[in-house]
Amino acid sequence: MGDVALSVRGLRLYYGTRKGVVRAVDNVSFDLRRGETLAVVGESGCGKSSLARAIIRLLPRNVHTYEGQIILDGQDVMKLSDEEFRRSVQWTRISMVFQGAQNSLNPVLKVGFQIAEPLMIHKGMPKEEALAEARKYLRMVGVHESFADRYPFELSGGMKQRAVIAMALIARPQVVILDEPTSALDVITQANIMNLLKTIRSEWGLSYIFITHDIALSSELADKVAVMYAGQIVELAGADEFYTNPQHPYAQKLMASVPSLRADKKLEFIPGAPPSLINPPPGCRFHPRCPYAMDVCRRQEPPEVEVKSGHVVKCWLYAKGG
Amino acid sequence: MAGEALLRVENLSKWFEVRRGLLAPPLTLRAVDGVNFELARGEAVSLVGESGSGKTTLGKTVLRLYEPTSGRIVFKGKDVTKLDGKELLWYRRETGLVQQDPYGAMPSFMTVYRILEEPLIIHKVGTREERREMVFKALEEVRLTPVEDFAFKYPHMLSGGQLQRVAIARALILRPSFVVADEPVSMLDASVRVEILTLMRELQEKLGISFIYITHDLSTTRYFSERIFIMYAGHIVEKAPSKELVREPLHPYSQALINAIPDPDPENRKRLRNVPPGEPPSLINPPPGCRFHPRCPYAMDVCRRQEPPEVEVKSGHVVKCWLYAKG
């Protein structure tokens, strides 16, 4: 484990739309140690992918607010200009595997060239050298290097996914963001990709931020879990704590709605839908769906309470004297 | 399996021709290849397989939305494989389909009311007033209440979950005895999935409808069906009661599938999963013998040469694998 690789403090990303300001990421903070994986879980529309984009600074045009601190190896990279960030951070220190990655490959470029691109663009490596590296990385992720000379349509879904992982790793980043890295893959292929990600992590000491809506899948990689709801982290805990004993009512409900293949348990669901991020409910954003909602929850935003060392819950139920 | 079979499928195949150009001879894609099963009255079965395994084709062929290439479909004692005209209309009325994508499955220019009334009009059911009552009752059944609020909305005004409720209401409004639900929740949010599946299960039990629930998600099947069929590369490779299949899978492919699925457990991160490498074969040129043999850890000589037989290992537990064949 060791020291902190990435520290995020008070990160905000709001989008300006015609209907109003969308508070997609609203005051998010966490630490990520070297070799550690943070899983970010929650329903769709709770800001998970926006959080990823805010960290790697791949932003749409309609950004309204983008502020906070992103401290990478002791340096606040939020202070860098876009150009400096692109040159010295993006892809070389933080990289990302996108959602639906199989479709993020360019259909008219050879696979090897696309894997090599980060080296040429972000590290200025000569083409021949970069292509040789691409073959090496392709082999490392378990695809025969001859596929470097093929086009994406000639690869199966699982192979494309591996190629995209090679692309994210080739510039040797310390932090890799995995945004639903196995969506649209079959379960056996998914398990194979998870095995690959585990092996790479333990060999390289990489840190992952693993974004998924699938709680069961999150436990494949997570050392630590952050539960997001309506743009905020409502619970942050170590994996051993979280999967056995979630504390926030939302996290508990989410866990109860996970179908289990092996254990006999009754399935539950969370009535209602996540709130609009334009006009989130006052107080605690989960209160309209919370079975324990009290008066204070409707009026005041809950504090972050450390219920145990390293286990933080943003909920009035755990506040002293609350 | 209780009582007589409502549906019996014998050696059913559906092959597609794939054209490669004007002059090249077409190739044959064997999407469903020699499938056998029975479905009892009021029974719910899950048909589980990866994408491209042929499960949707099987569902649509059984409903006669695709013409079978060969084999027989017997429904209520009647051979429906070759029905047409009025008699096919009867089969249509007896069956229903819920599709994966509720947005694509609904005409965008019709109100919910009109969408639900359409099958009643086609099958000449009731007077205008009676139909109105039936539509409102159907909306109530799927809990889109107050019904007046939903009846006159257009599909784009509803959420995915609400729209899938409309799709379920439409499939059930003629009170069919057999419904295929093809990945009915895979496009919905995780938290809504359980809600929709629970609703479907309740209605299925209440109305005594036989159900085939097509899914790639094995973990939900146990809750919503009595039996599970596992499909691989156009074949059903294992049929068993749901709990038994999950507890004691016999086919090496079923075993791999179950090994691949995590339950939330902090220990998961410390171990690698025991799953076979590779991906399912092409259905244009499937491997000879058992179609799983290139990925199977137990593959023997015979598996490479000859298609495995279906072996009933225990009462009601059938597996298509040489490992269990006598001799």
Across the interface, do A261 and B261 touch by the CB < 8 Å criterion?
A: yes
CA–CA gap between residue B223 and residue B194 (Å, rounded): 10
Determine the distance in angstroms separating the CA of A236 from the nearest CA of chain B, rounded to an integer. 15
User: Which single residue is written with the structure tokens 């479907």?
Assistant: B200
State pLDDT tens for residues A240-267. 999 999 999 999 999 988 888 887 788 8
CB A248 within 8 A of CB A227: yes
Residue B10 CB partners (closer than 8 Å, separation 6+): B36, B71, B72, B73, B74
Q: Is A4-93+174-263 assigned to CATH 3.30.70.1880? A: no
Fold of the CATH domain B5-19+27-262+276-324: Rossmann fold (3.40.50)
**Strand ranges (E), chain B:** 5-18, 27-40, 44-48, 70-75, 78-79, 95-98, 178-182, 210-215, 227-232, 235-241, 310-314, 317-320
Across the interface, do A269 and B195 touch by the CB < 8 Å criterion?
A: yes
CB B190 within 8 A of CB A257: yes
Determine the distance in angstroms separating the CA of A24 from the nearest CA of chain B, rounded to an integer. 18
Kindly report the pTM of this predicted structure. Answer: 0.89
Across the interface, do B194 and A223 touch by the CB < 8 Å criterion?
A: no
At B238, which amino acid appears? E
Sign of CA dihedral B157, B159, B165, B168: positive
State pLDDT tens for residues A187-239. 899 999 999 999 999 999 999 999 999 999 999 999 999 999 999 999 999 99
Name the pLDDT band for B2 (thresholds 50, 70, 90): very low
State pLDDT tens for residues A10-54. 999 999 999 999 999 999 999 999 999 999 999 888 999 999 999
At B23 the pLDDT is: 83
Q: What residue spans of chain A are helical by DSSP H?
A: 48-56, 82-88, 111-123, 127-140, 157-169, 187-204, 215-218, 239-244, 249-256, 295-299
Q: List the single residue in A with minimal CA-CA distance to B196.
A: A269
3-state SS, residue A44: coil
The packing angle between helices A157-169 and A187-204, to 10°, is 20
State pLDDT tens for residues A132-142. 999 999 999 99
Q: Domain ranges in chain A?
A: 4-93+174-263, 101-172
Q: List the single residue in B with minimal CA-CA distance to A39.
A: B269
Size of interface A-B (CB pairs under 8 A): 114
Q: Among A207, A205, A137, which residue's Cα sits nearest to residue A178?
A: A207
Provide the mean pLDDT of chain B: 93
B192: alpha, beta or left? (left if phi > 0; alpha if psi -120 to 50): alpha
Report the share of chain B in percent with pLDDT over 90.
81
Q: Among A227, A196, A197, which residue's Cα sits nearest to residue A211?
A: A227
Query: Residue B137: enclosing H or E segment and its boundaries?
Result: helix B128-141
**Residue A1 confidence (pLDDT) above 70:** no
